[in-house]
Amino acid sequence: MKFRVERDVLAEAVTWVARGVPARPSVPVLAGILINADAEGSITLSAFDYEVSARITVPADVQDAGTVLVLGRLLSDISRNLPAKPVEFSTSGNKVDVTCGSSRFSLMQMPEGDFPTLPTAPEASGTIDGGAFTQAVAQVAIAADRGDTLPILTGVRVEIDGDKMTLLATDRYRLAMRELHWNPAATDANQVLLVPGRTLLDTAKSLGTTGSIDLAFGGAAGGDGLVGFEAGQRRSTTRLLDGEYPKVSSIFPTSSETEVVLATAELVEAVKRVALVAERNTPVRLKFGEGQVTIEAGTGDDAQASEAVEATLTGPDLEIAFNPHFLLDGLGAVGTAYTRISFTQPSRPAVLSGQDEADGDADTSYRYVLMPVRFAS
């Protein structure tokens, strides 16, 4: 095997594929990236850890076709640090020589025959705008559980109903839901997928916000337990989570007593400042009334802070406490200049949604439901 590839092309390709290289491989061969040089003038890089697979095809000047398997982490480190010159790969014996300008690397070949076959290239079940998808995933994935108490909650629930797609995640303290449209191949598409949250976020970000993304699931993804993503030459599959996602429809409050509209950035700044004195696990307290919200944190024995932010209030005054990180996550995710927060009672969940104008209507395509912090009595 022998080929020559541009350094930037190589680095980008390796970065994409390295997502599929496990940090602690269960079998040594999974630590590798498979490089396949095609005589037609392209190379394909693949990685697979039985959970996530990643593959990319990029143009290269191929002299001799062939396949090698090299250590992924090493290849990724090397390709990021090479000078901006064409990179040449060639095999000699059981080594792979990598030459770029005057720097040379000699990598051990791994037994490529032992490398598992990647799930077959999925056939698209539909497409979605890359920008919209990436934003939606980022908005929802923040609420996915990071712990290990309930593995199912580490996933993002993706519900497909015709051209409607609903993303949802919760860690039982907050819940984020985003509704958006996509272009299904079949109008009667109907499916619920549980995609591991971190992988989904990572994949959506890496696929890029430009262009459209092909989604494949069910039979089209080469098996029921898989979801496939494809954008340009980048392809990835992810194993879905198994199990029943808890029923969440009853969590959304059906009515609200108090509604508040605030400038998102102002509130974020104020909460960040006040939260500096909130010790681990202690809340910030929000008092709504008289055209403003007063944010306070800290207790009598320790440092205290308070700050007021203008707010448009409808309904009775209210005092409520939140975990500052959870509140900031939600405020960061609405992505609009103004945020509307609806409350019923200080002990019941609040709902955050975004709106573009101070006196406009809320855009309920994204909702972030946050449970308050209360004090034992």
Partner 1 sequence: MSRRQFALPQRSGDGPPDDTGCTILHVDMDAFYASASLLARPDLVGTPVIIGAARGRGVVLSATYEARRFGVTSAMPMSRAQRLCPQATVLPPDHELYSRMSSAVMEIFRSVTPVLEPLSLDEAFLDVSGAIRRLGPPATIGQLIRDTVHDEQRVTCSVGVAPSKFVAKLASGLAKPDGMVIVPVDEVVPFVQQLPVGALWGVGERTEEALLRLGLRTVADIAHTPLTTLTRALGDVGGRHLHDLSWGRDPRGVEQEQRERSIGSDETFAHDLDDPALIHRHLLALSERTASRVRKAGLAGRTISIKVRFADFTTITRSRTLREPTDVSREIYETAVGLYDALGLQRARIRLVGVRMDKLLPVEQAPIQARLDEPDHGWRDADRAIDRASARFGSGAVRPASLIPREQSSSRPPGDLS
Amino acid at 124: A
Q: Using the rule CB under 8 A, is 372 a contact of partner 1?
A: yes
Of 122 and 324, CB closest to partner 1: 324
Dist. CA 142–CA 204, nearest whole Å: 14
The 10 Å Cβ neighbour count of residue 356 is 11
Q: Which residues between 335 and 354 bind partner 1 (CB under 8 A)?
A: 347, 349
Which is closer to partner 1, CB of 36 or CB of 170?
Answer: 170
Which residue from 2, 172, 198, 272 is in contact with partner 1, where contact means CB under 8 A?
172
| Residue the block writes with tokens 């449970």 | 371
Amino acid, single-letter form, for residue 17: V
Would you say 216 and 230 are in contact if contact means Cβ atoms under 8 Å apart? Answer: yes
Contact pick of 23, 224, 281, 359 for partner 1 (by CB under 8 A): 281
Stretch that binds partner 1, among 111-119, 195-203, 207-215, 245-253 (CB under 8 A): 245-253
Residues 282-311 that bind partner 1 (CB under 8 A): 282-283, 299
Instruction: Give the containing element (helix H, strand E) for 7.
Output: helix 7-18
95-134 residues in contact with partner 1 (CB under 8 A) are none
Asked if residue 171 lies in contact with residue 147, where contact means CB atoms within 8 angstroms, the answer is yes
Minimum distance, C-beta of residue 373 to partner 1, in the bound complex (Å): 5
Minimum distance between the CB of residue 299 and partner 1, rounded to whole angstroms?
A: 6
Min dist CB 366 to partner 1, Å, is 17
Identify which range of 26-34, 78-86, 190-198, 276-284 contacts partner 1 by CB under 8 A. 276-284
Q: Which of 142, 236, 243 is nearest to 198 (CA)?
A: 142
State which residue, 106 or 299, has the beta carbon closest to partner 1: 299
What does the DSSP assignment read for 332-351? HHH-SSEEEEEES-TTS-EE
Task: Give the pair of three-digit tokens for residue 165.
Answer: 């797609």
Task: Please pick, from the candidates 101, 111, 162, 246, the single residue that binds partner 1 as defined by CB under 8 A.
Answer: 246
Interacting residue with partner 1 among 207, 220, 311, 321 (CB under 8 A): 321
Give whichever of 102 and 281 is closer to partner 1, judged by the CB atom.
281
Tokens coding 272:
């960040």
If 0-12 CB within 10 Å is exposed, 13-18 middle and 19+ buried, where does residue 64 land?
exposed
* Residue 164 touching partner 1 (CB under 8 A): no
Both tokens assigned to 375: 């004090």
Tokens coding 276: 């500096």
Binding span for partner 1 by CB under 8 A among 25-33, 76-84, 237-245, 366-374: 366-374
Amino acid identity of 154?
Answer: T
What residues line the site for partner 1 (CB under 8 A)? Answer: 147, 170, 172-175, 246, 248, 251, 281-283, 299, 321, 323, 326, 347, 349, 369, 371-377
